[in-house]
Structure 1
Amino acid sequence: MEIHVRRGDTLWYYSQLFDIPLVLIVDSNPEINPNVLDQGQAIQIPGFTVTTRMIQKGDSFWKLASARRLSVDALLLLNPNVNPNQLQIGQKVRIPTRVTWLIVNGKQPYDFQRMTNDMNRLLAVYPFMRRREAGKSVLGLPLYDLRIGKSNRKVQVNASFHANEWITTPILMRFLNEYLLSLTNYFAIKGVTTLPLYGRTQLSAVPMVDPDGVNLVLNGPPASVKEEVIAINKGSTDFSGWKANIRGVDLNKQFPANWEFEAKRKPKAPASRDFPGDAPLSEPESKAMANLVRQESFARLLALHTQGEEFYWGYEGLEPPESETLANQFARVSGYEAVRYVDSHSGYKDWFIQEFRRPGFTIELGQGQNPLPITQFDEIYEAASGMLISSLI
């Protein structure tokens, strides 16, 4: 919600007026000097939107404000040209409306465009969240990296490394929405008060690592690569089993953690799943995710996959003691089985543990055959949200 500064206003006053933490207002206006506001300057207030009301008989600013648990001055701020003592029936006034509902609806096919639309809506209401590009896909779609918090202690979470595991994207987007909502409305998630986490931990979320692949599974092949992907898919136009990127490379088998060993026992040519590529980090998506980790000092990493209701937390004995503590916590809040080692290499979390000796987790959400039915969404989210909020503590 955008407002304009009046003489004598301060960000602290806006924090009190709208009952929004001051740090969130400051971070929603990164170009503003919070100590020197200019009259008429535009300020973003997070957690609010503006609705329009037509004045009806008996309306007054006091009644309108009281019904919404607002100060009358909040209405005056949004209606500088309205005389509150001379309201007329049919006159339009702007009402600041606290957002108390979820924006993300994950219980539907969730392709790149739907994710982007939800992301834009979240950024409009919660401008203290920041968006950057970690890289681009083969077909040029951005790999968005969303950031919440400003601490140097950073946690990385990603989803949809595998195309037909796309349900992990709306799960992560729903969590981001709930986290943002909790910060502006002062409620806890799984018993965890979130505002202290905002100052303690910076969350980096890449909700869709393989946007080309997700779009392929949900929408079919784009004309530019239709013949190629159908050929890779052995002539079939059913892409529900497709895990790879658009070039038929499994992005989660692309990392230099015993890649050569994995390559010997996996497909030797592009395929709908399991082909590790001709070399490690040959794909733009895997390069982008590797560069993201190299550029940032992440304290821990969570990769959301499906399925199995278990998670893997070790690699070659290189995981630190902290990993076991976190694994026990994740198992407790999710009911999932904690598995230390599994016969697999060259995954993102494998490489992260190998290179940085920090906790990394591959979390297999849900149960069944990929792509999991959207009817599992609520059950999956219940388990995932507990692990995600615990990862930020």
Structure 2
Amino acid sequence: MPHSLNRPYDFQTLLNDLHELNSYPFIEIVEIARSVEGRPIWEVSLGNGPRKVHMNGSFHANEWITSAAVMAFIKEYAKAIACNRLIGGVSAQQLFAANSLSIVPMVNPDGVELVINGPAKNRRNELLELNEGSEDFSQWKANIRGVDLNNQYPANWEIEKQRKEPKSPAPRDYPGDQPLSEPEAIAMAQLQEQKRFDRLLAFHTQGAEFYWGYEGQEPEEASRLAEAFERASGYQSVRYIDSHAGYKDWYINEFKGAGFTVELGIGCNPLPLSQFHEVCLAANKICIEALKE
């Protein structure tokens, strides 16, 4: 199925896609929390199998194309289930029976809205100041309070706090005053604590690679999955990087599960719409391997 995207994927586009998914009786869509500005953070669930798999997109605001990619996968998967078709050469109904899949397609809706549609009037001056006076918010990664949501987790957070610049709220890289200070980060931690996922895929951009180890805490099956992901997508498998306090890091450290940070595409964030087809192909292949292996 060809994947195309003719405009940036904002919160309203997500709502439109969720409305479309509501027509499938086997899909459950639940609001798990609200963002700083009160936007719902949605979880899409499908499948009734014993293996619990979680995927998410748009931890980082200018990586909104990840939301579009995971939603494209859900739509394709749902159609294949409904029509009893294959997806990636595998029976979709078999995957449905083997896995309970949870997806949070847009972790950072406020940040995505800022990048794509600009600041709300009531926050305009505050956000312009954080953005060094620039009206161009295309490079913004953080949530609306200037905290990087993927630097918010208690997995050697203190190391990131000490070495990260800036030391105060900013468009990117500020880990907050303490771990789990932001509602969006808290929501994702609570989701894992409640559901105890066996596998986790956090989609980011860019680099055409994925990271899967943390402090030697990753399980043996992570290595096997990494080989499958690399083979299917052509993306480079990277076991360790010098980074802490990410969602994947915390997940592996605390729960010893197979966790992956997948960097979709190549280039500069936000990735151009022209890359969407390639990004979707890679994401779909990795998602299917995560459900199949």
| Aligned counterpart for 2:266 among listed residues 367, 371, 374 | 367
2:163 maps to what in 1?
265
1:181-220: per-residue Cα shift (whole Å, max 9, x none)? Answer: 1011222122111101111101100000000000000000
2:14 maps to what in 1?
115
| Aligned counterpart for 1:390 among listed residues 279, 289, 292 | 289
2:205 maps to what in 1?
306
| Aligned counterpart for 2:228 among listed residues 329, 336, 351 | 329
Structure with larger RCO (C-alpha < 8 A, sep 6+): 2
1:284 maps to what in 2?
183
- 8 Å CA contact 1:155, 1:202 repeated in 2: yes
Name the SS for the 2:168 alignment partner.
Answer: coil
For 2:259 and 2:32, locate their aligned partners in 1 and report how far apart those are by CA, in whole Å.
19
Name the SS for the 2:262 alignment partner.
Answer: strand
For 2:80 and 2:13, locate their aligned partners in 1 and report how far apart those are by CA, in whole Å.
23
1:313 counterpart letter in structure 2: W
Go from structure 1 to structure 2 and tell me whether the alpha carbon gap of 1:134 and 1:197 turns closer, same or farther (over 3 Å shift): same
For 1:240 and 1:345, locate their aligned partners in 2 and report how far apart those are by CA, in whole Å.
25
Q: Percent identity?
A: 55
1:227 maps to what in 2?
125
1:357 matched to 2:256: yes
| Aligned counterpart for 1:295 among listed residues 160, 178, 194 | 194
Paired residues, what number? 291
1:131 matched to 2:29: yes
Structure number with larger C-alpha Rg: 1
- 8 Å CA contact 2:57, 2:106 repeated in 1: yes
User: What is the CA-CA distance between 1:358 and the residue it aligns to?
Assistant: 0.8
1:128-186: per-residue Cα shift (whole Å, max 9, x none)? Answer: 10011121100011110000112342100000000000000010000000000101122
- 8 Å CA contact 1:105, 1:174 repeated in 2: no
- 8 Å CA contact 1:106, 1:171 repeated in 2: no
For 2:50 and 2:91, locate their aligned partners in 1 and report how far apart those are by CA, in whole Å.
20
| Aligned counterpart for 1:161 among listed residues 53, 59, 76 | 59
> What TM-score does the superposition give when structure 1 sets the normalisation length?
0.73
1:206 maps to what in 2?
104
- Misfit runs of 4+, over 3 Å: 104-107
For 2:83 and 2:186, locate their aligned partners in 1 and report how far apart those are by CA, in whole Å.
38
1:303-360: per-residue Cα shift (whole Å, max 9, x none)? Answer: 0000000000000111011100000000000000000000110000000000000100
RMSD: 1.3
For 1:216 and 1:191, locate their aligned partners in 2 and report how far apart those are by CA, in whole Å.
39
2:44 maps to what in 1?
146
User: What is the CA-CA distance between 1:105 and the residue it aligns to?
Assistant: 5.9
